[in-house]
Amino acid sequence: MAPLKGKLQSFSVPFPPALLSPNSRAHWGAINKAKKAYQRAVWAVMKEQKVRRMEDASITIEMTFYPPANYAYDDDNLIARMKYGRDTIASVIGVDDRIFRQAIPIISSAEPPHGRVQITLRPILVDVPVRGVVS
């Protein structure tokens, strides 16, 4: 299939495990195992959902979190947990993750027992360079 240009894509990935939280104090070996397992899971569900490659210069990544339980989740912690998921998403769509622009995350109601993260990749169609000082 030809890569997409100027079109959005939306898909779900598994909810990131607690071991990937920056607040986790687990052994580095356990964290590394969780990281690899999460990357494989994200890759598999993206292939299953037929997520396509993209050729855009800048992409807004929107994340809606549906946690496995109704705990008080911290939005910046959830974004940090998704770091390895973001890397895998970028790899599957064939871009460098530095072109992602993070939208404000949404934490929705729980979806027991596993939860999920709804990802929307929205190309930024107009890229206006910022020059000088606005006063």
Q: How many CB atoms lie within 10 A of CB 9?
A: 20
Question: Is residue 113 pLDDT above 90, yes or no?
Answer: yes
pLDDT band at 128 (very low <50, low <70, confident <90, very high): low
pLDDT in tens, 15-63: 999 999 999 999 999 999 999 999 999 999 999 999 999 999 999 999 9
DSSP annotation of 108 reads -
Tokens encoding 9: 């894509």
Q: Which domains does the chain have, with CATH numbers?
A: 9-123 (3.30.1330.70)
pLDDT band at 133 (very low <50, low <70, confident <90, very high): confident
What number of H helices and E strands is found in the chain? 3, 5
Question: What is the model's pLDDT at position 135?
Answer: 67
pLDDT in tens, 56-97: 999 999 999 999 998 889 999 999 999 999 999 999 999 999
Long-range contacts of 67-70 (CB under 8 A, 24+ apart): 67/15, 67/107, 67/110, 67/111, 67/115, 68/15, 68/110, 68/111, 68/112, 68/113, 68/114, 68/115, 69/110, 69/112, 69/115, 70/109, 70/110
Q: Beta partners for 116? A: 14, 66
Q: Rounded CA gap, 24 and 41, in Å?
A: 20
Q: How many CB atoms lie within 10 A of CB 120?
A: 15
Question: What is the model's pLDDT at position 134?
Answer: 67
Q: Which helix (H) or strand (E) element contains residue 41?
A: helix 28-48
pLDDT band at 126 (very low <50, low <70, confident <90, very high): low
